[in-house]
Structure 1
């Protein structure tokens, strides 16, 4: 659905330099400006309903031997009661804890063993569970989903309840409380909606609410909302429809209906006056967010409001970009119109450059002036053209995977009782006129009350737009009292034994996709795949060297050069290029990370020629304009300051420094330090471009609806690219300590600690010790049901997730294990990590673990090359490591023949915990003395700034 094309607002620190706040940008164009609208886009499906009310939607797609199973319950945090927040999200966790015929954690094990992937998600309106598996595993997945729909309650024990309550608290700590800007959505919801409104609390809920409830409260919630009559089962892929229907009836048909569910009333927020709220947070960059209530999803005014948001703040063509970002006042600025089932919000946001802005009041003034400018400017033809192209391209790109199609069908059915609503959505956006956009601006935005949120560094409340005039009423609820009778599930009678797990069919044979190969005279090696599944093309141009070519004394040049390649050219301005690409629905992105500088191109097939004209201009005629450089440099410097507020980023920097030292480029941040970025000049970037943006060591892949002949014709633009030899750096052996140390990185007041346990290991190989060591690690920390994760997350409740693994490239390799853990459990978590790794080194994997690993690795190929980007990933790896087409078959042979004895020898060799360094990012004042019990030297570490 178009609704799903609105990217979720997300805020994260990017290590290179920039703080990314995802903006929503969805709209379409004036019908008058189009001679023809978008062509019909549909997803073929069959829909029916079981006697118990379960809606079933089937989609047949034989392009790959896989299947996606998605069950969506029409319940999210909006169905919770005041003082009972977080139930829906809590139950998302509980649904993975086993049911009557599926043991605790076995759901993960079965899907992993089947070579599949799985997860669940919860938002304010729905909870869904989804699995992508080889098609021979379909019956097994339906059995799993039916068992937790009909036979869950008796398996929900007090112990599981307590454990998952701790896991949810850890998730909140990791994603909300310990993250810069993490409370942004929660605070906005509290201020925008009245107390008790379904959207006035966040999906993850409040810790005090989770502490207040008991296991029977949770069971009641399940009984009320998780019946088949409040669910949609969507199945897509290479299915046999008759067989699938029979399995659906067998496993789901006897599950009784739940209570009848009344439809929630639409409830857009209403504000009588502007509410100012201030949040002092551990941030460097102040943030201003202005939020106004509008309508609700699918309301006739949703589409024109989306167009308005795109005009005001939808990227480099927008007014906010021109008035805030281009002149360096803001690192980011955008407008968005996120919609949910019951209410929508119109948001204007600015992430401020504190070097140029003295207070957020200044940015509010610019926003007000921008709105006046929009009134005078009006809606232009290109505004509508751009958003129409975005709708078309995003819709088509969303159909590249079976999972994408299945999720669209599920969403359409849940919210509109129409699975395939793509064409209807396209038509409503095509119908938007210039007059519609101006009308909704006047009705919902102009001079309207808003929630104005100022997020400022701690101790700097004076930077806020205005003094806070709104205080949320205290959340005083009496504790749960009295005993409650146990809640039992309904008795279900079947004519078969549900305790017997269905067997799988014949495992589909999937190899590396057929590809063609070609070499240009200047050294570029090209691999390509012609696939007709969607009318799209994906191109990846990989220039070897990347950030490794930076000087250790001046890191960040490669990264900034790539950033500059995304800016103006010598022929066109930034805005002109962005507009041309937007009108085509295409993207061209330059990035530099690790060993490669990459150029990514995505385009609809019909627009590829025009897109490549722009690529040629960007690649061969970069602007390196001083004004672009000055702005990017300032943004980078401010972004680096913000990165230092992010505990995960601090841990990443510390790992590099501990492993490689400050004298090598490997030990430095890829995006540079504040000192190195300060010293970088535009001439440094020009020199890097001249020396290393060359075809000598370029690998290229072309995947999509394009023949070899068409691809070679299209890539002629690279044939004249002039070669200029350059050498790649090399690194010697890195010393490994006999006794690892504890490196403590201070994150004052952090409610969680980030733990990283690291050591040097082997470089990449496709069939040797590195490959086999990854197999060896799988039961230890390479899957959800690994020993480490089950211990720290499921048994102890210390973390939201823990893992271990080997990572290797051409020059270096590492073993690492880590997790974000509750601060009070830091030392205990480290002890459990060391205990699990040491025991595994001593005793190794079991035969049962070996068999699980073999099945998981040999059956997951069906999922490995479904989309163009996955196919491209396989090909670029083959080029980068000089692999032939048969290497995957040889890997399978290794997996089938490998023994526990062989893998356990690798565990004994590589998993010596004494030689591992331990990095802890947390509140040093609290942790320093506690860490002494680990009997290691403690080093206070300051990461590069």
Structure 2
């Protein structure tokens, strides 16, 4: 999760770790034995502090949660909470310019991050435990020594950043305005949830410095905040530091909790919107429900999952299988602190009439009313929630966020050990009761999003929803100079806060013990035993993927993988789903450019049974013709929608420019509409029989299981799955172009230009690959530390984010710079990027080298924390034949890096005069301007 990217909508839901074996019509009371230990104390100024120790890795997650989100704003002044999510990272009196972002890189942190929702804002990251005092010092600066650093230029620049975030996540995305239309009709105008978390750009633009400072002084106070430390630390030392740095911050004014108030829909509202970026029609229904922790919210969670998830879900039975109007349905319960809502979203196929979908929804609901939910299905859903619960506890940051959320919303972090019982005790009667209470014959809001000029596809009697879209005019933005030093009077303190605390004892890099084995049929198995939670994650990676396809039948690997999920020889699709879910497991088969992967996650006690199902799916596919046609229809729909999504257009066009149209590596892994429509079931069977072989398969296992128990269930797979030779074609990556060229793909009226600049570069196995990655850290690989981010986002406000990376595999991949920039600074952004990469070899400094080394060495303390991270390590080792301690070799490369080596690598692998410069945006206003970039006349790729 990159900084300020997600507007989180709800706290983590914790579910029972005791699987319920049966549910009867009689109400039962179940209690869990779950006990997440913690210690809580409170400072005199009202700050509530929670400590949770976990000694499994030498790291600590630090989270500051402030009880203010968009719901604490007032009409006409929206977006302030989200704005402060941004501002609080930039600078404080004692950390100086660059603030926590700058310090995070130096100490090897996961990256200072945060999110805002309707009810709270949180600031969080995971750091090596030797930096804990530094983090407590820095977090205290947020509340006590920050607001003076916010000046008019700082505010003006961050307004531009927020605007770019809105353009990226809403304005320039298909269906991006949907939630805004729903919420302003589901909640009265004066309700705190009537507006979106990101707020109104007009309100933000009109906000004065005084408005912003007053908002901060009211809400960002110790008596409205919770600090959580979770990980490997000395609790007595931590308490000492918390008191030292937080205790003198003055208490704020008393804050009265907001009253719970549900949404109101006096009469069903039907609205439609013609979406410039949507190629497929979509309908969304919304009903007002109940807030967090209301007893009905737990039954609503299960109800919505039952109605829409899985082959036998009532909505899918009608709309997917019978009527074939969509490829899937999605229904969810969204409970926030003050109110809740249920939403049901369904995207139709090309030219599909949403009235037909509406009829199908009504029929599905009628079927549910007759049949209800069975004991088996209720238990099945609870089993899946059990595994989700353990996943939520698999890292210290997840535990820290959950403790902070329970303390903020429930006033009791101990609710983490209580709430799960409320889900565990949901009955069939509860499910039907909440359906009757909140959905059946109740008023709702329904939005129909349709392609431009196709209002006839919307629900009948819908009224047009009016969205005030932003107009981007060249030179219209407020001028500012972000490099002007901030001048302010420093806030006094009883202690020396200007000096950054020293590091504690340095943690040692603990590379986990890795075991290996090769089965008799050729499968190579790699594993790590880890007993933090009773889970096992695993995957089987089968080499080949799209590389083995025929150019005339692109998309076969993807269709094959998808169809292998749809039943087995002896199990229908529904029976297979039930078998997996009853174990609390998940199994997914998917294809990529170079592999087909079977990925699994299960309770450790059910590992053997889960592997038995994997074996069945792998060796005995059902080859169901009906499912095959449904999958093809879904893929074609996705391909159609991709044509209007600027980000996916950029990815697909960039790959063709990098690799050339005749190279299969340039192709979309989904194929094309034309190629998918030509593929038949025999093509899939041929691919399967020729290329799915243990000779090109590697298995990776991580979790609460030893080598012997991990290998034992594989004996049947070894005996039944015969090996055959598979030769993976080698597709040579072209050389970098001799000179730069500019390409433009037109998306009329786009609010942003999506840019991809780069050239073919290195393979993962190249001796320069990791050194080049080290070199790139300060250029564009280091997040907010990078020069690209500092100049284009922090210096100019042109973008929400910009990154660069090397992406080689066994074959050479490109070096790429990617961003989404405001349309009217398309040229200016490209010119600035060109200057940064041209100057990079000469501007890279001793300080940059120290920052690079500090991050890449110290961040290794976090390298093996999560099960996913351990699995990635095993995949790297097996794929590229690395030593099990290859991380230590990389440490040596970092330690031996010099400025001269960085300069040499930059000159060798990043040349702005030998690159592809691709722009996807509004050609009418931006195309001709790019003549000034100096690389010749831009080539328009999609001339009308």
Category of TM-score, reference length = shorter chain: over 0.9
1:133 lines up with 2:133 in the alignment: no
Is structure 2 residue 835 aligned with structure 1 residue 835? yes
Match of 1:190 in 2: 184
* Structure 2 residue aligned with 1:335: 331
> Any residues of structure 2 matched to 1:758-837 within 5 Å, and which?
758-765=758-765, 768-783=767-782, 784-837=784-837
Distance in 1 of aligned mates of 2:227 and 2:126: 14
Deviation of the 1:375 alpha carbon: 0.8
- Any idea what the Cα deviations from partners look like across 1:98-143, whole Å, max 9, x if unmatched? 0111112131121111111120100111100001000101000111
Q: Which residue of 2 aligns with 1:173?
A: 167
1:424 Cα offset (Å)? 2.0
1:32 correspondence with 2:32: no
Q: Matched residue of 2:699: which SS?
A: strand
**Does the CA-based 8 Å contact 1:31-1:37 persist in structure 2?**
no
Is residue 230 of structure 1 aligned with residue 224 of structure 2?
yes
List aligned pairs for 1:418-567, cutoff 5 A. 418-469=412-463, 494-567=493-566
Give how far 1:897 is off: 1.7
Q: Which stretch shows the higher mean deviation, 658-667 or 734-743?
A: 734-743
Q: Rate the CA distance shift 1:31–1:255 in 2: closer, same or farther, 3 A.
A: farther
Superposition pairs of residues 902-941 of structure 1, within 5 angstroms: 902-938=901-937, 940=939
**CA distance 1:78–1:830, change in 2 (3 Å):** same
TM-score, normalisation: structure 1: 0.93
1: CA distance between counterparts of 2:177 and 2:221? Answer: 33
For 1:513, what is the secondary structure of its paired residue? coil
Task: Report the equivalent of 1:271.
Answer: 265
Q: Tell me the CA shift for residue 941 of structure 1.
A: 5.2
C-alpha change, 1:351 and 1:73, in structure 2 (3 Å) is same
Shift of 1:7: 12
Q: Which residue of 1 aligns with 2:396?
A: 402
Number of the residue aligned with 1:297: 292
Alignment of 1:658-697 (within 5 A): 658-697=657-696
Structure 1 residue 69 displacement after superposition: 0.2
CA–CA separation in structure 2 for the residues paired with 1:267 and 1:324: 34
Q: What secondary structure, in the 3-state scheme, does the structure 1 residue paired with 2:773 have? A: helix
Equivalence for 1:250 = 244
716-725 vs 624-633, greater mean Cα deviation:
716-725
User: What does 1:497-646 align with in structure 2 at a 5 Å threshold?
Assistant: 497-646=496-645
| Contact in 1 for aligned 2:701/2:710 (Cα 8 Å) | yes
Gaps of 5+ in 2: 1-5, 470-485
2:847 paired residue number: 848
CA contact (8 A) 2:664 2:731 kept: no
SS at 1:534 equivalent: coil
User: 1:436, CA displacement in angstroms?
Assistant: 1.7
Contact 1:25 1:314 in 2 (8 A): no
Question: Does the aligned pair in 2 maintain the 1:191–1:470 contact within 8 Å?
Answer: no
Question: CA–CA distance in 2 between the matches of 1:25 and 1:260?
Answer: 31
- Per mean C-alpha deviation after superposition, the further-off stretch among 217-226 and 564-573 is 564-573
Match of 1:13 in 2: none
Question: What is the DSSP-based 3-state SS (H/G/I as helix, E as strand, rest coil) of the residue aligned with 1:456?
Answer: strand
Contact 2:311–2:577 (Cα < 8 Å) also in 1: yes
- For the residues of structure 1 that align with 2:777 and 2:347, how far apart are their CA atoms? 41
Contact 1:9 1:24 in 2 (8 A): no
Are 1:115 and 2:108 matched, yes or no? Answer: yes
Aligned-residue offset at 1:291: 0.7
Q: Report matched runs for 1:847-886 at 5 Å.
A: 847-886=846-885
Q: What SS does structure 2 have at the residue aligned with 1:32?
A: coil
Contact 2:148 2:490 in 1 (8 A): no
- Take 1:930 and 1:898, find their aligned partners in 2: how far apart are those partners? 40
Find the aligned partners of 2:309 and 2:415 in 1 and give their Cα distance.
Answer: 24
Mapped to 2, the partners of 1:473 and 1:690 lie a distance apart of: 53
Aligned match for 1:415, one of 388, 409, 415 = 409
Give the equivalent residue in structure 2 for 1:345: 341
- Residue 19 of structure 1: aligned partner: none
**2:150 aligns with one of 145, 150, 156:** 156
Structure-2 separation of matches of 1:808 and 1:417? 49
Q: Which runs of 5+ in 1 are unaligned?
A: 1-5, 11-22, 476-486
> Paired residue for 1:210?
204
- Are 2:930 and 2:938, in contact at CA under 8 Å, matched by a contact in 1? no
Structure 1 position 41 matched with structure 2 position 31: no
Instruction: Provide the C-alpha distance between the structure 1 equivalents of 2:8 and 2:906, rounded to a whole number of angstroms.
Output: 41
Which residue number in structure 1 is paired with residue 313 of structure 2?
A: 318
1:363 Cα offset (Å): 1.0
- CA deviation map 1:529-578 (0-9, x unaligned): 11111100011111111121122332211111111111122211111111
Equivalent residue number for residue 285 of structure 1: 280
Shift of 1:662: 1.0
1:66 paired residue among 59, 69, 72: 59
Q: Which residue of 2 aligns with 1:91?
A: 84
Deviates more, 1:434-443 or 1:52-61: 434-443
Q: Which moved more, 1:428-437 or 1:88-97?
A: 428-437
8 Å CA contact retained: 2:548, 2:728? yes
Deviations 1:876-910 (A, max 9, x none): 10011001123222221121122111121111222
Q: SS at 1:420's partner residue?
A: helix
> For each residue in 1:364-411, what CA deviation from the matched residue of structure 2 results, as whole angstroms up to 9, or x when unmatched?
111111111111112211231022112211111111101111111111
Change (3 A) 1:7 1:54: closer
Q: Is the 8 A contact 1:780 1:787 kept in 2?
A: yes
Give the total of aligned pairs. Answer: 913
Check the 8 A contact 2:116/2:122 in 1, yes or no: yes
Measure, in 2, the Cα distance between the counterparts of 1:25 and 1:348: 23
Distance 2:464 2:266 in 1: 12
Q: Deviations along 1:554-604, whole A, 9 cap, x unmatched? A: 221111111111112221111111122222210001111122211111000
Using a 3 Å threshold, how does the CA distance of structure 1 residues 934 and 323 change in structure 2: closer, same or farther? same
Alpha-carbon separation, structure 2, partners of 1:896 and 1:519? 35
Mark the CA change 1:645 to 1:833 in structure 2 (over 3 Å): closer, same or farther: same
Residues 717/862 of structure 1: CA separation in 2 closer, same or farther (3 Å cut): farther
CA contact (8 A) 2:517 2:526 kept: yes
Moved more, 130-139 or 898-907: 898-907
Query: In structure 1, how many angstroms separate the alpha carbons of the residues matched to 2:7 and 2:689?
Result: 36
1:459 CA displacement: 1.1
1:297-316: CA deviation from partner (whole Å, max 9, x where unpaired): 11111112222212211333
Once residues 56 and 435 of structure 1 are traced to their aligned partners in structure 2, the CA distance between those partners, rounded to angstroms, is 40
Return closer, same or farther for 1:661/1:941 CA change in 2, 3 Å cut-off: farther
The CA distance in 1 between the partners of 2:32 and 2:391, in whole Å, is: 15
Change (3 A) 1:406 1:761: same
Greater alpha carbon shift after TM alignment, 383-392 vs 631-640: 383-392
Whether the 8 Å contact between 2:15 and 2:419 is mirrored in structure 1 is no
CA RMSD in angstroms comes to 2.4
Q: Which moved more, 1:924-933 or 1:420-429?
A: 420-429
Aligned-partner SS, 2:343: strand
TM-score between the two structures when normalised by the length of structure 2: 0.94
Q: Distance in 2 between matches of 1:354 and 1:100?
A: 56
Three-state SS of the structure 2 residue aligned to 1:337 is strand
1:16 aligned partner: none
Q: Is the 8 A contact 1:25 1:306 kept in 2?
A: no
The structural deviation recorded for 1:940 is: 4.0
Distance 2:7 2:333 in 1: 10
2 CA distance for matches of 1:434 and 1:911?
62
Contact 1:291 1:451 in 2 (8 A): yes
How far off its partner does 1:431 sit? 2.1
How many Å separate the matches in 1 of 2:941 and 2:294?
Answer: 53
User: Using the alignment, how far apart are the partners of 1:610 and 1:9 within structure 2?
Assistant: 35
How far apart in 1 are the matches of 2:747 and 2:311?
35
